[in-house]
Structure 1
Amino acid sequence: MRWVLAAFFAAAGIAHLRIPETLLLITPAWVPFAREVIIATGVFEIAASIALLSRTRLRWWAGVALALYALCVWPANVKHAMEGIEMPLIGNSWWYHAPRLALQPMIIWACLFCAGATDWPWRGTRSAR
C-alpha cells in the first residue's frame, strides 16, 4: 500500500510542477500565492513520497504530513466538482468526482496506516503493511 500511495503522490507532485496553470483552475480563490503554493506542494508530494518508502522515522512524518495534506486539498476537489471545471485528462464527470470525494477519507486513513500512525482496524497486527 505504501508503494501505491507513494506512486500516487509522486505522480501528483510531478503534475503540480509540470502543469501548475491547470491546477490553478481548481484552486480556491482564498489560497494566497496560489501558483507558488501549487509548486511548493508538488515538491512536498515528491519528497514525502520518497520518505514514505523509507524505513526511518521519516516514514511516520511523511504519512502524517500526507494525511494532513490530503485533508487540505479537499476544498480544491470540492471546487472542481461543484463548479464543473473541465481539466485535461480528468474531465468533468461525476463518475470521477463522486468516488474522488468519497474516497478522500480513505486516502487520509491509508497515509496514516502506512506511516504506522494508526493500526485501525487491525489493532495489534502489523503484517497488513
Structure 2
Amino acid sequence: MPPQQDKRRLSSRAVKIGMVSALSLTVAACGSKTTTAWCVDRYAPAVGRTAGGYKVVSDVFCDSRDIERGTVSYGRYFWYYGGKRDSDGYVSGGSRFGPSKGKIKSSSGRTLSRGGFGGSGRSGS
C-alpha cells in the first residue's frame, strides 16, 4: 500500500471565523458614510433670499488642515458639513462641526478625511 499523504485541512470553525472577520471589515468599509464639506463664505450677501444659508465658494478659500486638526475656522471662509445646496449656490441644513465618523469629501469631490480605520474623521467638538 502506498503511504498516505498527510493532508492538512483547516477546521471548519477556523474558516468560518476568518470569513466572518473579512466580511465584517468589508461591511464596515463599504457602510461608512460620506459627508460633503462645503467651503462657504460667512459674509456673502444674501440679498432677497428668504431662506438662510451660506454661499458656496471654491475649496481654495478653505484650509483642509482645519478638518485634519478637528478645528473650526472663525474667519470669513470655513467648512460647512452636510446640508443641501440650492440652485442659487447657497447651502443650508448642515453644521459647522464635522462628523465624528466616516469619510469627508469636498464639494469638488476631493477626499479631505478618510475617517474609519486609521483616522478619526473628527472635526470640531
Q: Which structure shows the higher helix fraction?
A: 1
Instruction: Specify the structure having the higher radius of gyration (Cα).
Output: 2
Q: Which structure shows the higher strand fraction?
A: 2
- TM superposition score normalised by structure 2: 0.25
- TM superposition score normalised by structure 1: 0.24
